[in-house]
Amino acid sequence: MMLEDYSFLVWYLGRIRELKKSSSQGRLEKHLEWIISKGETRTAVVSCRFCQERPIEYFSIRYSYASDFSVSMHYTACKDCKHNLRENNTIILPLKFSSLKNLKREKKEVVSLFKEAFGLKGLRKEGLFRFFKS
Ligand SMILES: [Zn+2]
């Protein structure tokens, strides 16, 4: 699925750029940039639970002492309410595809949260294509 492949796409785009430094941009590179930029500007379909007005724009990952962590829709907020997410051993990240880049073991849970946040749960390839096209 496309979201799981996101960090691969970013890596691949970097590789293409390296290889083609002096030449003009290829079609594949343009296409990848387009996919990635779409993932940066999408609005979530889930409302912030604090103000119940604006769509969520931030999510947090809460780490426990047993080096465990939790990611949940409960720990999301819009930009005006994100201070509510602040707590010890917690990182707050923008709800953007680029946030996936620096995650490793947390990625699976975060991707699942993103799917829910952007209304992508259960979508097949065609649905995902429309998501990126609109
Ligand atoms: Zn809010």
10 is a domain residue:
no
43 is a domain residue:
no
Q: What residues contact 3, with CB distance under 8 A and at least 6 apart?
A: 97, 100, 111, 114, 115, 120
* Spacing, Cα 83 to ligand 1 middle (Å): 10
Looking at residue 61, what is its pLDDT? 96
| Mean pLDDT over each residue of the chain, to the nearest integer | 82
- For 37, the token pair is 């930029």
Radius of gyration of the chain (CA): 16
* Spacing, Cα 50 to ligand 1 middle (Å): 5
**What are the DSSP calls for 54-66, one per residue?**
SBP-EEEEEE-TT
Contact 59, 113 (CB under 8 A): yes
What residues are neighbours of ligand 1 (ion), with CB under 5 Å? 48, 50-51, 78, 81
For residues 62 and 71, give the distance between their C-alpha atoms in angstroms, rounded to a whole number.
Answer: 7
- Look at the alpha carbons of 126, 55, 74, 49 in this order and tell me if their dihedral is positive or negative: negative
Judged against a pLDDT cut of 90, whether residue 77 lies above it is answered with yes
Q: What CA–CA distances, in Å, run from 56 to 22, 74, 77, 120? A: 40, 11, 5, 15
Contact 95, 58 (CB under 8 A): yes
**Of residues 28 and 102, more confidently modeled:** 102
Looking at residue 129, what is its pLDDT? 65
pLDDT confidence bin for 2, thresholds 50/70/90: low
Q: What pLDDT, in 10s, does the model give residues 6-65?
A: 777 777 777 777 766 655 556 666 766 776 677 778 899 999 999 999 999 999 999 987
82 is a domain residue:
yes
Number of domains in the chain: 1
pLDDT confidence bin for 134, thresholds 50/70/90: low
16-25, 65-74, 84-93, range with the lowest pLDDT: 16-25
- For 72, the token pair is 């949940």
* Spacing, Cα 47 to ligand 1 middle (Å): 8
Structural domain of 99: 58-123
85 is a domain residue:
yes
